[in-house]
């Protein structure tokens, strides 16, 4: 009996560690450069945790980890990370409200369809002005674009936090300073991009490609 339980545990552990997850195929694509693989690798490991947890979930389809993997795979490591940061900021308590306001679509499991590739809707807000606002005060361009308080608050909080950590690491002469600076630059770029995206009132295609929302 004990032997059987041990074998079952080994099997389950192997499935978690070595099983195929959605980001794996993107990571294994031979067209990726070294930087893309380096950025995709943590996502493949994260999915082994999140996909086997009943606590961790995402209101979007594709979920944030797969969205990030798709963005990095299709847009490159830097731009893809900036786009991923924007998604993470948008994945908050007000996401469904704004999704409905924009006339968004729902997946069969009632999650919010939000693929990496989308089309802009007609909007009177200036995306360039929104981007300029967030370049001065991160988060403000999102509010101008119509995402109200939560997106603007989270954008300001996260970008300010990463910038402060980077500044402190440089001041202390930390060996991790380049990493923290990189994270701060991505968050800052994500705020500028997110403001532009918000003001442009992006919405997914009426017929999004299956590979854009497919998770398994």
pLDDT tens for each residue of 80-111: 999 999 999 999 999 998 888 878 889 999 99
Model pLDDT, residue 31: 94
| Spatial separation of the C-alpha atoms in residues 71 and 82, rounded to whole Å | 9
Mean pLDDT of 9-34: 73
Residue 212 falls inside a structural domain: no
Cβ atoms of 134 and 192 within 8 Å: the answer is yes
Residue 110 lies in a domain: yes
Is residue 213 situated within a structural domain?
no
Instruction: Provide the domain limits for residue 104.
Output: 23-207
- pLDDT for 121 equals 65
- What pLDDT does residue 6 have? 52
Least confident of 10-14, 105-109, 193-197: 10-14
* 72 in Cβ contact with 119 (< 8 Å): no
Structure tokens at 147: 């995402």
Give, to the nearest 10 degrees, the angle between helix 34-50 and helix 64-75.
170
Alpha helices for 91-126 (secondary structure H)? 95-101
Residue 83 belongs to a domain: yes
H or E stretch at 119:
strand 119-120
**Has residue 123 been placed in a domain?**
yes
pLDDT of res. 202: 52
Tell me, yes or no, whether 182 lies in a domain: yes
Whether the CB-CB separation of 134 and 125 falls below 8 Å is answered with no
Domains of the chain: total: 1
pLDDT digits (tens, 9 = 90+) for 97-155: 888 887 888 999 999 999 998 766 666 788 999 999 999 999 999 988 888 778 989 99
How far apart, in whole angstroms, are the C-alpha atoms of residue 4 and residue 102?
Answer: 53
Average pLDDT, the chain: 85
C-alpha to C-alpha distances, 159 to 22, 65, 100, 139, 144, nearest whole angstrom: 29, 20, 27, 9, 17
Do the domain assignments include residue 5? Answer: no
pLDDT at 125: 83
What is the per-residue pLDDT for 77?
A: 97
Q: Is 60 helix (H, G, I), strand (E, B) or coil?
A: strand
């Amino acid at each position: 009996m004990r032997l059987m339980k041990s074998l079952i545990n080994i099997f389950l552990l192997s499935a978690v560690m070595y099983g195929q997850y959605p980001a794996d195929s993107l990571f294994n694509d031979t067209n990726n450069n070294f930087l893309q693989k380096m950025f995709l690798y943590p996502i493949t490991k994260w999915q082994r945790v999140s996909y086997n947890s009943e606590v961790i979930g995402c209101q979007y389809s594709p979920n944030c980890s797969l969205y990030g993997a798709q963005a990095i795979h299709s847009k490159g490591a830097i731009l893809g990370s900036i786009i991923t940061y924007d998604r993470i900021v948008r994945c908050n308590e007000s996401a469904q409200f704004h999704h409905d306001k924009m006339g968004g679509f729902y997946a069969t499991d009632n999650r919010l369809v939000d693929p990496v590739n989308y089309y802009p809707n007609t909007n009177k807000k200036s995306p360039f002005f929104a981007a300029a606002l967030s370049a001065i005060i991160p988060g403000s361009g999102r509010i101008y674009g119509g995402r109200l308080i939560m997106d603007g608050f989270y954008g300001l909080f996260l970008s300010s936090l990463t910038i402060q950590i980077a500044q402190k690491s440089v001041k202390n002469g930390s060996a991790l300073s380049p990493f923290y600076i990189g994270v701060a630059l991505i968050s800052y770029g994500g705020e500028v991009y997110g403001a532009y995206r918000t003001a442009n009132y992006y919405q997914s295609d009426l017929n999004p490609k299956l590979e854009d929302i497919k998770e398994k």
